[in-house]
Amino acid sequence: MNYMKFFFIFVIKLYIYYMENRKRSIIKAISWRMLGTVDTMIISWLITGKLVLAVSIGGTELLTKTLLYYVHERLWNRIKFGRRADEDFVI
């Protein structure tokens, strides 16, 4: 038995499992939206000159786009396009 091959396949499968879980998708959505929201707030403030309006636009955008990103991410996890097929292995 080739233990290195087994170990390599095991690590890859473990990596894929943790890459695809819902918690990771939620954390990615939140961190990306925080960055995007700061950007939106700055642009809104520069355009309107009103900080309160910019923060309210950013806050609304944070909630809606976080939800949309999470749904988008979960739907793409169901699509097989662009993924390699799982290879069965025997221990």
pTM: 0.54
**Cβ-Cβ contacts under 8 Å for 67 (sequence gap 6 or more):** none
Q: Which residue has the tokens 């996890």?
A: 77
Q: Which parts of the chain register pLDDT below 70? A: 1, 3-8, 10-11, 14-20, 85-91
Percent of the chain with pLDDT over 70: 71
